[in-house]
Structures are given as C-alpha cells and as structure tokens.
A and B are shown apart, each in its own frame.
Chain A
C-alpha cells in the first residue's frame, strides 16, 4: 500500500534496484521505496557512486554525476532510471 501519486516507479524497477543494493546492505536494513542511502542504509558517498555504476550497467543508461545530489531515496533513483529509460 504505497501512497504514491506521481512518478510511479514500477515494482519491477524497485526490485531490480533492491537486488543491486543487497550485497552492500551490510546491516540488513529492510529496503523500502523511501529508504535513504545516507541515513537509512548508512552508505558513504563513494559506495553510492559505485552503486550508481551498477545501476547504469543494469539498465544500460547514463546516470550523470550531476544528478546524484537530488537522489536521496531508492524511489527517487527508480524514478530517475525510468525517466531516462523512457527518454531512450
């Protein structure tokens, strides 16, 4: 029951990203769309950048470094990914 009215990232995109986060989720935090990388997952900025590289390869897109400051939660990343994928 997610209360999301816009930028609906699909469950499939979210699941794919959860899968990429799993190996670095050392504390076993429960992954939710609203989970934040810095606070909830306690990932440092370098780890986040490596995760971004994995996401880029998984979806075959470019997620520019410039976008990272705006992507704080898993859902924000999923939305950004879908937007870039659909822009082709």
Chain B
C-alpha cells in the first residue's frame, strides 16, 4: 500500500489546470530589487502579493541590527526558548512588543503559526470551549486540533450567530473566543466591538489575532482592536513578524498576571528552536520603527484605497465594498479563469496571489493583492492598467 496514493486526486486536479508558462505554486523569485519589485522568470515584476504591508524588509536600522547580531551572537541559538535558546535579544524583543501593545507580558514564538498553535492548544483544556470564527486561519484550526477543548464554530464576522452559540454553552465552563482583526484572504475587517462584547457578556476570555492588521490599523499600529477602541476587551493578542514587521516569528501579549506559566505548558513554544539572534534584532528595530511610522501608515491606506477604487471602476468584482485593509481581493468566476488570469497577469509583470479553496471561504476563487506602503501611486496605477489588459487578454467579462 503506497501511502501517497491517497493524494492522487490532488495531483490530478493540479495537472488539469491550464498553466503554460508559469505555475502559482512554483514561483521562484530570482532577484529582489526592492520592497515592491523583483525579477521573476527573467521579467521585471511589480510585487503585489507579499504581505510586506509596511515595507520593512529593507529598513536600514533593522538590517544594521541584524548584521551586528550575526557578528556578535552567530547564526542561530540551536536550542529551545526554555533551554539555551533565550538570549538577551529575545528578552529585549519581548519588552519591545509588550511596550508596543502597552501590556505587561509577551512571549515570542518561532513563527506566527506556532504562536496560534501554542496559545490555543494551551489555553483550551479538556473541559473548556474554544469558540472560533468559521473563516479562521489554518493556524487557529490547527491550534484547536492540537488541544483538548471542545471546538465551536460561528458564522464569519456574525455577532448574532456567535451569541446563539454561546447561549447554548454551560455558563460556568471556561471559554476562549478567538477572532482575527483582518481576515487574510478577502481582506475584510472584523466587527470586533460587537464580537468582543458578546464574548464578554457570556464570560469568554478573548484572543485577537492581529497578524494581518498590525502595523497600519490604529493610531500606534497595534491593529483593529486599537482602531475600534476595544483593547480593554482583549485578553490575549497574537501576532506575527512575517507581515508588517518584515521578517519571521510570532508573539502573544497579555496583561494576565499568570501569563508566564504558558512558557512551561505551551508545546509549540518549548519543543522547537528559538529564533536566530539576527531575526530577533531586526524584528525589534522594525517594531520600534513601525510605532513611529504614522506617515507610512497614511500612505499605505492611500495606496489601498487608490487600488480598490481603480479596480472597482474598471468593473472588477471586489470582495469588500471598500478598502478595509491593504489586502484587496477580486472575485474570479472559476478555477480555469483564475488560473489563466493569474498566469497572464504575471506575464504582464504583476505578481499577485491566486487563492483557491480550502484557503478561501465558500469555494471562492480570488486574485488577492496586498499593497505595500512603499508602492508609489504610479505603481498602483500600473497595477490597475495591467489588470485591465489581463482581463482583455483572457476574455474576462468586466462591466
């Protein structure tokens, strides 16, 4: 019995897609010219699908700090945070993030994915309930699978549907409500005020994942909860360094006085190597810079609105009525059109993400663009122009 046979339908589906000159799952970036441009397949390409929202990947301070950390502390820690893997830099980074969120405690994980795994699996015990949005990121679902809690799912961004489910749960049971500030595929923002109010009414502790909203939402860039003035209802934030912060890693912050015990019970924190000193150093500098970057935030929002308006006026079917984040997603009718559109757009010199089920809700096919604060207005207009040319080339009906 070949254990890989069960994946034959996936191989079949993939080989049925009509890619000729490029494959969205095999893109190789040969050369990075800047935060917004690269050479892909020999072509000069505008990057419009990178999650590099705040454009911090070439921040001078972050690069200098990383180089210095490499020279002084070497290429890696070769150990767990709870053994030999905690350096002064890790503690300084945790202090920087706690300060950024104006909270008492912070734990740094090796990826954002692991931060969700580690928090949800540790917080949700055998007799507890974890209540999640139906469109949650895979790391939230996987955190649920890893833990022993009973998992209850509510309709995406629907406070009334959440309340109906919370009403059915035992009053005295431990409950963790998990929501995201911005959902990564459609780029839609959550009605956090209503969701958290319902959660608190039924005695939930709350975890808000600001992975795709940190950096540009809220006055200090903490995310949607700051933007909406509902931070007092958040017990735990989870976030990542691999979007706005421009490197890799994850974190959780909280004011809970017992928070530090999670370092001893969260397996994804314990049983993996800690982040390399250079990554830690650049993340620290980047977060300090993000805090001061209100002009950059304003420019990012201008870019997002310019792109959304341009594509909407060109007749594309947008996934959100207005730009709710730097993620701008366009509906495509089916997988065949999605495939041809993505490929043609790349040949036109724009890299965006093709998003398909199960990563997308309700079987949708999307072209997902993520805007960077470093995109110039001219680049945004060029992206719009190339979208129009691509639609013509693939015979897509835009009104």
Contacts and interface: CB of A to CB of B under 8 A. Distances in A.
Contact of A60 (B134, B168, B357, B362): B168
A15 interface: no
A46 B153 contact: no
A64 B357 contact: no
A46 B358 contact: yes
A71 to B, nearest CB: 14
A53 B153 contact: yes
A39 to B, nearest CB: 13
Given A56-B165, A57-B164, A65 B358 contact: no
Contact of B358 (A45, A50, A57): A45
A30 interface: no
Given A44-B357, A46-B358, A64 B151 contact: yes
A49 interface: yes
Interface in B144-168: 144, 150-155, 161, 164-165, 168
A65 B144 contact: yes
Interface residues of B, number: 18
B363 A65 contact: no
A66 interface: yes
B134 A49 contact: yes
A38 interface: no
Interface string A20-41: 0000000000000000000000
Contacts, number: 37
**Interface bin, chain A:** 10 to 19
- Grouping DSSP codes into helix (H, G, I), strand (E, B) and loop, the B interface class, with mixed when no group exceeds half, is mixed
A15 B174 CA distance: 35
Given A44-B357, A56-B165, A64 B152 contact: yes
B169 interface: yes
B168 A62 contact: yes
A25 to B, nearest CB: 16
A61 interface: yes
A46 B168 CA distance: 23
Contacts of B134: 49-50, 53
A71 B227 CA distance: 42
A65 B133 CA distance: 12
A62 B152 contact: yes
B155 A46 contact: no
A70 to B, nearest CB: 14
B151 A66 contact: yes
A50 B153 CA distance: 10
Contact of A61 (B153, B154, B168): B168
Contacts of A47: 363
Interface in A35-88: 44-47, 49-50, 52-53, 56-57, 60-62, 64-66
Interface in B327-364: 357-358, 361-363
Nearest to A45: B358
B150 A46 contact: no
A46 B357 contact: yes
Given A53-B153, A64-B152, A46 B363 contact: yes
Q: Quick one: which of A49, A50, A66 has the most chain B CB within 10 A? A: A66
Contacts of B362: 46
Interface of A: 44-47, 49-50, 52-53, 56-57, 60-62, 64-66
**What 3 A-B pairs come out closest when comparing CB atoms?**
A65-B151, A64-B150, A62-B168
Interface of B: 134, 144, 150-155, 161, 164-165, 168-169, 357-358, 361-363
Given A53-B134, A53-B153, A65-B144, 16 more contacts: A44-B357, A44-B358, A44-B363, A45-B358, A46-B358, A46-B361, A50-B134, A52-B153, A53-B154, A53-B155, A57-B164, A62-B152, A62-B165, A62-B169, A64-B150, A65-B153
